[in-house]
Structure 1
């Protein structure tokens, strides 16, 4: 059963500030819901150099696939193994676990430039998105029913009125944060990181990420090497705070750094830069009618690829909730859950990446000595090996404490899963993506292609689907599908991944997170779980600007 959505939205466009990957994705997802967007960027055109954010996680590739950008996954280089060294000794290696055989790779490496190109191609095909380059937001005023954005442009002052705005202005969005009166507390790390994209032939390195602690060719510090498409390798060297790139190039030390890795093989430098890393987060991600997203809201060190991957999750969380509010399917209070969910995710990322940075950049001699002992012990001691922190990779956050989640006493979240493992399917967790077959929809081959159509209810044997359908239609006008697992999961892979039992109903949100698991005995509670999942009950306190 699929309910038909109401007529097309006819209100003003949503304003998205920032035309980087997070802003692009937000705009495309809103347009997918039929919501028009004006996409503003202070730059005159797109930056076209450097790999920047390269490491994209499976669930982010899935989001991009939903807006027609499958090409990002196709163009990316798939890697499966993470190998960690102490000097030249392998301390550990591990690979990602996929229990349901998703057609999407666990991670791909692809330059941010290419990602932006593919997203731009989709935006050009989308009539609901208007792109305005060279529009610098210099004032932002909020009223009861709209946001007024004043932009400086080559044609003079331009104003836009929008029902809501998403601020995805990036790490340099200081002015936007100041306009919204949000803090951006945290710390900056003294050590710098030299980043080079080189094109070279390094046989055997094409499908693994390598992390070196204290190699002879960068003593006392770290080196990270990622393979990328077109025989490009991204190399990150930890360097001192007073590092001078120009002098290293001039006196040949940069060539020596690279030669320590490539040997006598020819190489070409495609891009180089020096970065300082930060760990910062705003104190709130909703300010009235403005939602903050991506680096504009949180900055984390890159070890673990939690920056852009988390920003894209911000984009999807914001887009479906804005669409439900603007379409009249949910009250404005639903947007408070954006703040609750994504701020919790940002703080989780800060905790994980800050712990990594403390290990990579010890703060004093005592910490340096402790790390040296641990690395030496890890060469022979498995217990010491698991304490070596070279970065825990990006993973979807779990909305266990969300006001939208209905918890289940027999399906409890047990904490962070093991490295590379997915979390067990429980309320709050992103549903696993598994092959499905839906009658009359041959293009749908996996579960995640269904969830973004609205609310999804999956039922197991023993559930009266007619009663479930009646309960849904009585509660919400939002587009909702009710499907039997036995009808769409002929191979049983999805049932196994969910550990689904007879007599259960699984309520899935439009971003794929499990909102509730109920049994036939709880059927009377289904309307409440649905209303909770779309923000109609138990709202968190509203925050005004």
Structure 2
């Protein structure tokens, strides 16, 4: 069968290629550039814990060596610290502070902050060892033709030629050629916000901690008197963002240098410390959402499908989630033939999540930037304001939390054995330690992305016994038989515990790590029905894709 054609060699396209290769699906990546990225320290991304784990799983590289996990977060208003969070110490409330300062600790893993070109290079390095992935450089797409059995694409350039593929995925950015060739509209709002950006090497008073500083005392102009964000990177480098007032005023190099000097002096008692300016730019935030993410055998992902990210530079994080969601569905279709309901679910799930985030941003940002009207929405206006912004930057809360797929068309119907755990259906599962079928002890996330469903039995006490003593005891033989009978390959795992789950709870997990359902005990019929729904319905519903049918 023909490979999947991926248009665009940015982080989303490269991640998709690696995710497909992990499931034995070949791909061709059409890269319109020369095959390398120009270093831009001011262009960075923030990845949530599970998205960073996805990249590490695919590349085999510890991203902590290339990026920075923040030691904490500080939110300031004028000269006052409004909120301070220390990561990794849930039982340590930190030193006592003023009554109006919120000092907390959190056991959650902090976001990972990494330069985008560093992330891209890590993905490219991993692909050099992948025999199933071909990267065609200097190949600019100009034609797409669909038939019932596949897709044909033409590229121009020094190596212009025709390419034959089973499916085609446009990961080619905001000006996507794929989207335009498929005549897909891309409505939304332009220039929702603008930020002046600088990457510099300097010593700041809070090493390793990200900072949101609203209404700094040395500035009185701009929205809410100004807003500055500082995010640490490796080797003493920081990314600084200044929220710009509405309009199209030119951001000159002189203006940026003045902002840098003024800000550093304000943070260090009036004297500008030594610094090395590495890179500058202007980050313009757009909110756009493609009308369709699937047209027959052609799909859109990443910035080609959506633009968002007013807070926390999480736009790429969502693009990587697109790739993770789509990869296992394309892999199943590639190996077993297209299943329309399963392929359609990519748009239904991911577009709904992004649409919800855009709606929340459009509703809340005017209130957060405008100030006074917030009182009618959040009691304790200034504190509520800072909490919402902080959560947005940290990838949680109404402005930043990743969406789940509770309303997915793949969600199973009512099941008699359905149980409740701390993870809602459709959300990402907790990364607990599990025992695999070969007796090895691994993290649950290590088993994701292989194309198989995961069935996790919660069985307290199994960790203290050798596997040979419990694998044939109790409910294990019955559960193992039920897993073998499922309509798709599945791996049986055993966990000592899972948040909110009782003994003998059985979890069904999708290949991309989202919980399908939790069940009380072993109910083979319910487990089969849930697995069948996860695959898009009964096997007899599988049909060949028709070009242009969507």
Q: Would the aligned equivalents of 1:199 and 1:268 in 2 still touch at CA under 8 Å?
A: yes
CA distance in structure 2 between the aligned counterparts of 1:130 and 1:358, rounded to whole angstroms: 45
Q: Would the aligned equivalents of 1:353 and 1:391 in 2 still touch at CA under 8 Å?
A: no
Q: Would the aligned equivalents of 2:7 and 2:29 in 1 still touch at CA under 8 Å?
A: yes
3-state SS of paired residue (2:212) = strand
* Number of equivalenced pairs: 503
CA distance in structure 2 between the aligned counterparts of 1:503 and 1:190, rounded to whole angstroms: 49
CA distance in structure 1 between the aligned counterparts of 2:146 and 2:521, rounded to whole angstroms: 46
1:480 partnered with 2:486? no
Q: Aligned-pair distance for 1:408?
A: 6.5
1:114 partnered with 2:124? no
Q: Would the aligned equivalents of 1:222 and 1:360 in 2 still touch at CA under 8 Å?
A: no
Q: Aligned-pair distance for 1:64?
A: 1.1
Query: Which residue of 1 is the match for residue 511 of structure 2?
Result: 510
CA distance in structure 2 between the aligned counterparts of 1:470 and 1:357, rounded to whole angstroms: 52
Query: Which residue of 2 is the match for residue 403 of structure 1?
Result: 409
3-state SS of paired residue (2:526) = helix
The 5 Å alignment of 1:120-519 reads 120-155=124-159, 157-173=160-176, 175-189=177-191, 191-206=193-208, 208-219=209-220, 220-240=225-245, 241-246=247-252, 248-249=254-255, 252=258, 255-261=261-267, 263-328=271-336, 331-362=339-370, 368-370=371-373, 378=381, 386=387, 391=392, 393=395, 394-406=400-412, 424-438=422-436, 440=438, 442=440, 445-453=442-450, 454-460=452-458, 464-476=475-487, 478-483=488-493, 485=494, 489=495, 492=496, 495-497=497-499, 499-519=500-520
Q: Aligned-pair distance for 1:256?
A: 3.5
In structure 2, relative to structure 1, the CA distance for the partners of 1:88 and 1:403 (3 Å cut) is same
CA distance in structure 2 between the aligned counterparts of 1:130 and 1:332, rounded to whole angstroms: 27
CA distance in structure 2 between the aligned counterparts of 1:456 and 1:404, rounded to whole angstroms: 16
3-state SS of paired residue (2:429) = coil
Q: Aligned-pair distance for 1:182?
A: 1.6
3-state SS of paired residue (2:44) = coil
Q: Aligned-pair distance for 1:91?
A: 2.0
Q: Aligned-pair distance for 1:480?
A: 1.4
Query: Which residue of 1 is the match for residue 3 of structure 2?
Result: 13
Query: Which residue of 1 is the match for residue 37 of structure 2?
Result: 47
Q: Aligned-pair distance for 1:360?
A: 4.8
3-state SS of paired residue (1:445) = strand
CA distances 1:280-336 after superposition (whole Å, capped 9, x unpaired): 111222221112111111111341343111111111111111111111177243111
Query: Which residue of 2 is the match for residue 87 of structure 1?
Result: 78
Q: Aligned-pair distance for 1:435?
A: 2.3
CA distances 1:388-440 after superposition (whole Å, capped 9, x unpaired): 67725144421101122226689799xxxxxxxxx931321111002234464
Query: Which residue of 2 is the match for residue 417 of structure 1?
Result: none
In structure 2, relative to structure 1, the CA distance for the partners of 1:83 and 1:324 (3 Å cut) is same
- Equivalent of 2:14 in 11, 24, 28: 24
CA distance in structure 2 between the aligned counterparts of 1:223 and 1:373, rounded to whole angstroms: 25
Computed over aligned residues only, the root mean square deviation of the Cα atoms, in angstroms, reads: 3.3
TM-score, reference length from structure 1: 0.83
In structure 2, relative to structure 1, the CA distance for the partners of 1:103 and 1:59 (3 Å cut) is farther
CA distance in structure 1 between the aligned counterparts of 2:337 and 2:56, rounded to whole angstroms: 25
CA distance in structure 2 between the aligned counterparts of 1:87 and 1:79, rounded to whole angstroms: 23
Structure 2: 5+ residue stretches without partners: 91-105, 460-472
In structure 2, relative to structure 1, the CA distance for the partners of 1:198 and 1:95 (3 Å cut) is same
Structure 1 window deviating more from structure 2 (225-234 vs 74-83): it is 74-83
Q: Would the aligned equivalents of 1:78 and 1:109 in 2 still touch at CA under 8 Å?
A: yes
CA distances 1:370-396 after superposition (whole Å, capped 9, x unpaired): 3599999656xx667656677251444
CA distance in structure 1 between the aligned counterparts of 2:156 and 2:338, rounded to whole angstroms: 34
Q: Would the aligned equivalents of 1:170 and 1:296 in 2 still touch at CA under 8 Å?
A: yes
CA distance in structure 2 between the aligned counterparts of 1:26 and 1:64, rounded to whole angstroms: 10
CA distance in structure 1 between the aligned counterparts of 2:437 and 2:69, rounded to whole angstroms: 32
Query: Which residue of 2 is the match for residue 535 of structure 1?
Result: 536
CA distance in structure 2 between the aligned counterparts of 1:455 and 1:106, rounded to whole angstroms: 28
CA distance in structure 1 between the aligned counterparts of 2:380 and 2:512, rounded to whole angstroms: 43
CA distance in structure 1 between the aligned counterparts of 2:168 and 2:36, rounded to whole angstroms: 21
CA distance in structure 2 between the aligned counterparts of 1:275 and 1:441, rounded to whole angstroms: 49
3-state SS of paired residue (1:311) = helix
Q: Aligned-pair distance for 1:217?
A: 3.3
Q: Would the aligned equivalents of 1:301 and 1:354 in 2 still touch at CA under 8 Å?
A: no
In structure 2, relative to structure 1, the CA distance for the partners of 1:534 and 1:103 (3 Å cut) is farther
CA distance in structure 2 between the aligned counterparts of 1:19 and 1:138, rounded to whole angstroms: 16
CA distances 1:137-189 after superposition (whole Å, capped 9, x unpaired): 1111211111111111123x31111111111111222x322212222111123
3-state SS of paired residue (1:110) = strand
